[in-house]
Structure 1
């Protein structure tokens, strides 16, 4: 795996202010920064094990005659069960992979979301530990409100692509600042569908479409431009297990299908400055507020 611009050792950043400053400068200019060796092997193993438990519980509890929602970024409003998706803001919900390996009693899962950080005994403490808060503070978001979490799976040979998008389309901060954390829980490279980003796209000034609650359910408003960037503008972001990439909510990124024999698991959270826009899809049930990181 070749080291590219934008990779900074987390331990060095914490002990060397000049290195942390270089990392934050890169984030400001490029819209992403990767902190290598952010997590220990014990931490990544613990998160993977807990995700496997949640998936096992889901399969054991789900009647075969009542399939869960299928998640796909290409046709969100048509392919997802809107009610199931909206309720997931306050729950731990599993979403099925669009493509499956066959007639399996335990179909492949695409992701688990979106309240792991508040409801799970393993993901909760991990999401709110001091070093996670330190990253937000270093990037200028403090206090930060933690609004969603996702365990993302790209299973070997069935992992679907995630089309070009900006996270701020879906996580609309009232004060305009959204940060995405994305931890590699397994090695992620070009073979098994690592992330790809368009450096500097967070500063292009283009209008973003918005994913909101409309009269007919969830709809996109505004003009979409995330898929307008040519392939040569994208940069692959290969990562080792335990690395963390921070993404500005406005930076364009995507991932390809995983047709390799290697799975690619990740954990992601989003934090915002202030709160969320009123019309966004993320809305908690009464008595279950979003809390600070």
Structure 2
């Protein structure tokens, strides 16, 4: 059984949370966004093409389409935390909106920096829960300490379903060190899970009949470092401070 993760509040004890991030590769900061801000992001997502056409597939880089998503990535409290985690002035890099409709398959185990190829410690992600997220509707599983093993080998995997997911999302899975076990990381809506660029994480299937698992992923990189733009991701930096 996957154990639940402990929770750490950056605002209450920034040094302790930063130490936890360095040691474990992630931490959860509750209530970064309030109810009104979350509701506004969800409302704006209804105008995405993938909402209107009913596919509810993830939408890449919504910050380029609708100002409210850029504003979310620029939220001062969020950026202040990210600046400590990437060790310098952060730049926004990429965003992605996930609808997570009931029945959506989870992501395979992966490391975000496998794709971004940023220098160690210069890249981090902020995963904003736009619904209350638990095991049933598809919360993240994270492998504490796995960021210390460097970038790991990946292998192709068979996709049993692409329902609700980008068809390219689950073609690869990274190797998992034998001594590392995952923890289940539930989150209240408005909370942000901060992820080290090389932490192994995955998500559970949404097995509910009526609960979405909407989330906004925002990634950041230290100003001036190199990164892989990607063929489909089209990563490019943008100002957040």
- Bin for the TM-score computed over the shorter chain: 0.7 to 0.9
Matched, 1:192 2:141: no
Secondary structure of 2:44's aligned partner: helix
Q: Tell me which of 254, 258, 267 is aligned to 2:202.
A: 254
Cα deviation for residue 143 of structure 1 reads 1.2
Change (3 A) 1:225 1:264: closer
Matched, 1:110 2:60: no
Residue number in structure 2 paired with 1:30: 24
Q: For 1:263-274, what aligned pairs fall within 5 Å after superposition?
A: 263-273=212-222, 274=224
Q: Provide TM-score, normalisation by structure 2.
A: 0.81
Cα deviation for residue 279 of structure 1 reads 6.7
Is this contact kept in 2: 1:145–1:275, CA < 8 A? no
Change (3 A) 1:180 1:292: same
Unpaired runs of 5+ in structure 1?
A: 60-105, 210-218
Residue number in structure 2 paired with 1:291: 238
Cα deviation for residue 207 of structure 1 reads 3.8
Residue number in structure 1 paired with 2:66: 120
Is this contact kept in 1: 2:86–2:221, CA < 8 A? no
Cα deviation for residue 3 of structure 1 reads 7.5
Change (3 A) 1:8 1:118: same
Residue number in structure 1 paired with 2:98: 152
Residue number in structure 2 paired with 1:50: 44
Residue number in structure 1 paired with 2:157: none
RMSD (Å), alpha carbons: 2.8
For structure 1, which segment, 166-175 or 252-261, has the greater mean C-alpha deviation from structure 2 after superposition? 166-175
Residue number in structure 1 paired with 2:85: 139
Secondary structure of 1:22's aligned partner: helix
Is this contact kept in 1: 2:104–2:205, CA < 8 A? yes
**Which structure's residues are more often helix, by fraction?**
1
Unpaired runs of 5+ in structure 2?
A: 155-167
Q: For 1:62-211, what aligned pairs fall within 5 Å after superposition?
A: 106-114=53-61, 116-156=62-102, 158-173=103-118, 177-207=122-152
Secondary structure of 1:292's aligned partner: coil
Is this contact kept in 1: 2:152–2:174, CA < 8 A? no
**Which structure's residues are more often strand, by fraction?**
1
Matched, 1:8 2:8: yes
Deviation per CA, 1:41-77, whole angstroms, max 9, x where unpaired? 0011000000012247x63xxxxxxxxxxxxxxxxxx
Change (3 A) 1:233 1:174: closer
Q: Provide TM-score, normalisation by structure 1.
A: 0.67
